[in-house]
């Protein structure tokens, strides 16, 4: 057995006497230069010193080697014993994940013998060779499970420059070849910690608001003696529903409730999709109408105050989307439940009167009014803008309408104002002109949309001007922020219907000529598909008001007539429609040569509903680097929910979306995938 050669600091320490020989020799030569006899004596002493050092090294070489070996053995034994008895589970694998060695604690945790040399993946499936190779750092951590325990596995990769290295273990010697890599694994039991984390999340307080959408209307339909009983049944049902998830309900007003529950209770309600939305509709104690409720839930990791603010924002979204649904808002996004319910129509016009007076006060304090609708404005957007123009004219204020593109369907309506001396030449302006005209005393009014990116000129919304919004579409997570006045009623058939009601209460002496009444009437006619979609009592009352102000159905019909090419294009869209899953008509509209392809697509979607067996229709139109989707249904399918997943929105039976950076084929496949997913999840029943 050979001796062990010292290395490093030990070698330099043992070589120090040899270095001193050279030092003494150099010193002796220096002395010799000044004194010959004394220098020769010093040289002699130096050689004697060197001889003694040599004899000592030679005679003690084996003893020194034995001492080093003994120390190494003792040190290695202690180190091995410490690792083997280490209270933290510890193991070593090769670069391919095969176990080389494990200590007693690791063996006890995994139930494997100390000579177990299979892949670590056989014990922890989460630890794979691919995962180890993909790790960017030499030290990395992942969470693993074994039995009923959860562990945090801290791993360190050690790469060797040499091709092979002996790794000692108590039983044998394992030769690491091929990879030149070892993986050291430490396991830390984090089961209790994870349980505490889960418990803290599950037990977190969640505030919610519940409003009765149609309390007044429902109570008015019940005999007075039954009203108290009806209220008691309603309160009992609401309290029992939230009590099942350990929630606390407090009634703040006769139609409003404040609720506190745990986060795990909210998850239960989300899984059952807030069944209370349908349960309250089963309450029948002589009432002709059914109760509908809206729920807003707020979640925030920062503070209870912010959670309460989120809950209030959520209930506003639920009410703005027509009620009869639950909205959950957190730091990241907004989730909607129960959107299958129909909008609740309000018979009272109190809100319209209040909004009309507020609009009047705002206009009186400004010098200029600029009105804009959505991009590629239709008859409803134009008619609503004309109604706002009439309000501004009544107060003697300058008013202009932003209209970037005049489509073929809109041109007959716009031409009525061009060349008429009663209207200024700059009544219709584009976005560039609007940006130049807007100032601190300008009121910007948005009609027929509540999404900032859908407006004709989104830049007007970010210039610090006072904003007013009139719209009949359901609100989504993306909406115009901080308007001074917001009048959004999803139950309304059209923006023109809403503006007509505002006109009735704006001023007693307001004047609307027959041409203006025709344009507003045309907007109602288009959005209701000739009074066949989303019409209510107030829709016909608005039409009657316009008729009294000179609107003529024959003139409106002539203005809305289309040319032969457009009619043929719509017929082609209907002819090439495909029936998907036996209930959905899907067709593509080529907008290349048409001036108003989106209008043609919407009209074709309406016509496809006349086919027997079709529950919903969708027409996709590619126009100006966007794909416009028009969705229509009668009563069985909620197209608004489908369009929301495409990034759009609308109503239950009339909805749409605009998709960028895609083509109609890809958009069609995406639409079909959404339909498939919703059918599988139970959101669509066919």
Q: What's the whole-number mean pLDDT along residues 564-570? A: 85
Q: Which of 286, 285, 310 is nearest to 297 (CA)?
A: 310
CATH code, domain with 174:
3.30.450.20
* 193 plus 229 within the same structural domain: no
Taking 70 as the threshold, does the pLDDT of residue 162 lie above it?
no
Could you tell me the pLDDT band of residue 590, with boundaries at 50, 70 and 90?
Answer: confident
Distance between CA atoms of residues 145 and 189, nearest Å = 10
Q: What is the pTM of this model?
A: 0.58
Q: What's the whole-number mean pLDDT along residues 479-508? A: 88
Domain end marker among 525, 559, 593: 559
Q: Note whether 600 and 573 are within 8 A (CB).
A: yes
Greater confidence (322 vs 640) lies with 640
Taking 90 as the threshold, does the pLDDT of residue 536 lie above it?
no
- The answer to whether residue 508 is domain-embedded is yes
Instruction: Please provide the DSSP assignment of 302-324 as one string.
Output: S-HHHHHHHHHHHHHHHHHTTSS
Residue 83 is predicted with a pLDDT of 66
- The answer to whether residue 108 is domain-embedded is yes
**Per-residue exposure over 137-148, b if at least 16 CB sit within 10 Å of its own CB, e if not:** eeeeebebebee
Domain end marker among 304, 337, 370: 337
Q: How many domains does the chain fold into?
A: 5
* 505 plus 382 within the same structural domain: yes
Q: What's the whole-number mean pLDDT along residues 167-189? A: 59
Greater confidence (260 vs 490) lies with 260
The residue segments making up the domain with residue 65 are: 8-84
* 378 plus 523 within the same structural domain: yes
* 540 plus 581 within the same structural domain: no
CATH code, domain with 399:
3.90.1640.10
* 484 plus 425 within the same structural domain: yes
Distance between CA atoms of residues 657 and 372, nearest Å = 19
- The model's pLDDT over 66-90, given as tens digits with 9 standing for 90+, comes to 666 666 656 566 656 666 677 788 8
- The answer to whether residue 279 is domain-embedded is yes
* 550 plus 483 within the same structural domain: yes
Domain end marker among 66, 84, 102: 84
Half-sphere exposure of 409 (CA within 13 A, CB side): 24
- The answer to whether residue 426 is domain-embedded is yes
Half-sphere exposure of 446 (CA within 13 A, CB side): 33
Residue 318 is predicted with a pLDDT of 82
Q: Note whether 654 and 639 are within 8 A (CB).
A: yes
* 312 plus 449 within the same structural domain: no
Beta bridge partners of 579: 585
CATH code, domain with 316:
3.30.70.270
* 487 plus 366 within the same structural domain: yes
Separation of CA 616 from chain center: 27
Q: Note whether 206 and 299 are within 8 A (CB).
A: yes
Phi and psi at 37, nearest 5°, equal -65, -45
Mean pLDDT, rounded, of the chain: 83
- The answer to whether residue 344 is domain-embedded is no
Q: Note whether 177 and 164 are within 8 A (CB).
A: yes
Residue 167 is predicted with a pLDDT of 43
Residue 71 is predicted with a pLDDT of 63
Beta bridge partners of 211: 256, 294
Distance between CA atoms of residues 346 and 498, nearest Å = 12
- The answer to whether residue 345 is domain-embedded is no
3-state secondary structure of 686: coil
Q: Is 27 exposed, middle or buried (0-12, 13-18, 19+ CB in 10 A)?
A: middle
- The answer to whether residue 3 is domain-embedded is no
* 21 plus 38 within the same structural domain: yes
Half-sphere exposure of 278 (CA within 13 A, CB side): 9
Could you tell me the pLDDT band of residue 106, with boundaries at 50, 70 and 90?
Answer: confident
Residue 483 is predicted with a pLDDT of 86
Greater confidence (64 vs 655) lies with 655
Distance between CA atoms of residues 189 and 473, nearest Å = 53
Residue 445 is predicted with a pLDDT of 95
CATH code, domain with 590:
3.10.310.30
Residue 115 is predicted with a pLDDT of 82
Taking 70 as the threshold, does the pLDDT of residue 543 lie above it?
yes
- The answer to whether residue 224 is domain-embedded is yes
Residue 119 is predicted with a pLDDT of 86
* 274 plus 132 within the same structural domain: no
Could you tell me the pLDDT band of residue 168, with boundaries at 50, 70 and 90?
Answer: very low
* 357 plus 478 within the same structural domain: yes
Could you tell me the pLDDT band of residue 3, with boundaries at 50, 70 and 90?
Answer: low
Q: What's the whole-number mean pLDDT along residues 91-110? A: 83
Q: What's the whole-number mean pLDDT along residues 661-684? A: 90
* 553 plus 570 within the same structural domain: no
- The model's pLDDT over 364-415, given as tens digits with 9 standing for 90+, comes to 989 999 999 988 888 999 999 999 999 999 999 999 999 998 887 788 899 8
Could you tell me the pLDDT band of residue 178, with boundaries at 50, 70 and 90?
Answer: very low
| pLDDT > 90: percent of the chain | 30
Greater confidence (676 vs 216) lies with 676
């Amino acid at each position: 057995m050979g001796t062990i050669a010292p290395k490093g600091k030990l070698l330099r320490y043992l070589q120090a006497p040899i270095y001193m020989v050279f030092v003494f020799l150099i010193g002796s030569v220096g002395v010799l230069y000044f004194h010959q006899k004394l220098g020769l004596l010093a040289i002699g002493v130096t050689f004697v010193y060197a001889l003694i050092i040599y004899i000592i090294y030679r005679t003690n070489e084996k003893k020194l080697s034995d001492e080093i070996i003994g120390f190494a053995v003792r040190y290695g034994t202690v180190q091995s014993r410490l690792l083997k008895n280490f209270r933290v589970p510890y193991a070593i694998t090769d670069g391919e994940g095969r176990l080389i060695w494990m200590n007693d604690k690791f063996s006890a945790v995994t139930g494997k013998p100390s000579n177990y040399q299979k892949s670590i993946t056989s014990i922890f499936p989460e630890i794979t060779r691919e995962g180890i190779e993909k790790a960017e750092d030499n030290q990395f951590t992942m969470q693993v499970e074994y039995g009923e325990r959860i562990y945090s596995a801290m791993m360190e990769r050690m790469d060797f420059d040499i091709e092979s290295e002996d790794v000692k273990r108590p039983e044998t010697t394992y030769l690491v070849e091929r990879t030149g890599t070892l993986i050291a694994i430490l396991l830390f039991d984090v089961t209790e910690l994870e349980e505490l984390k889960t418990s803290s999340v599950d037990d977190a307080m969640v505030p919610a608001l519940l409003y009765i959408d149609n309390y007044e209307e429902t109570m008015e339909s019940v005999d007075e003696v039954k009203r108290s009983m009806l209220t008691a049944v309603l309160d009992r049902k609401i309290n029992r529903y939230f009590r099942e998830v350990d929630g606390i309900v407090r009634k703040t007003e006769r139609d409003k409730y404040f609720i506190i529950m745990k986060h795990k209770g909210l998850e239960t309600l989300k899984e059952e999709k807030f069944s209370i939305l349908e349960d309250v509709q089963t309450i029948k104690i002589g009432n002709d109408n059914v109760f509908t409720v809206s729920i807003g839930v707020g979640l925030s990791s920062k503070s209870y105050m912010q959670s309460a603010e989120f809950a209030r924002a959520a209930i506003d979204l639920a009410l703005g989307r027509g009620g009869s649904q639950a909205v959950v808002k957190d730091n990241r996004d907004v989730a909607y439940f129960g959107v299958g319910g129909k909008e609740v129509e309000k018979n009272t016009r109190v809100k319209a009167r209040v909004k009309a007076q507020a609009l009047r006060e705002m206009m009186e304090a400004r010098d200029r009014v600029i009105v804009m609708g959505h991009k590629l404005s239709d008859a409803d957007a134009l008619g609503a803008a004309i109604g706002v123009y009439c309000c501004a004219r009544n107060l003697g204020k300058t008013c202009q309408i932003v209209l970037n593109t005049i489509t073929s369907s809109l041109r007959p309506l716009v031409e009525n104002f061009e060349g008429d001396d009663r209207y200024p030449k700059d009544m219709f302006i584009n976005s560039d002109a609007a940006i130049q005209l807007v100032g601190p005393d300008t009121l910007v009014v948005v009609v027929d949309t509540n999404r900032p990116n859908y407006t004709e000129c989104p830049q007007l919304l970010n210039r610090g001007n006072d904003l007013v919004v009139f719209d009949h579409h359901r609100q989504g997570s993306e909406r115009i922020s901080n308007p001074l006045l917001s009048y959004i009623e999803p139950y309304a058939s059209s923006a023109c219907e809403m503006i007509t009601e505002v006109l009735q209460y704006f001023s007693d002496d307001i004047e609307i000529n027959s041409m203006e009444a025709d344009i507003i009437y045309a907007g109602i006619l288009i959005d209701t598909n000739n009074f066949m979609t989303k019409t209510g009592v107030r829709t016909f009352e608005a039409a009657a008001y316009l008729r009294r102000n000179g609107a003529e159905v024959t003139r409106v019909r002539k203005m809305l007539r289309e040319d032969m090419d457009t009619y043929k294009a719509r017929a082609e869209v209907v002819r090439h429609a495909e029936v998907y899953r036996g209930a959905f008509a899907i067709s593509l509209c080529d907008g290349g040569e048409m001036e108003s392809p989106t209008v043609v697509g919407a009209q074709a979607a309406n016509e496809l509903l006349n086919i027997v067996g079709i529950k919903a229709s969708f027409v996709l139109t590619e126009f100006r680097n966007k794909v416009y989707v028009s969705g229509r249904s009668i009563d069985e399918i909620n197209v608004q929910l489908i369009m929301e997943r495409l990034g759009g929105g609308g109503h239950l039976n009339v909805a749409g979306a605009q998709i960028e950076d895609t083509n109609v084929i890809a958009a069609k496949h995406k639409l079909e995938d959404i339909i498939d997913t919703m059918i599988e999840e139970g959101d669509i029943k066919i």
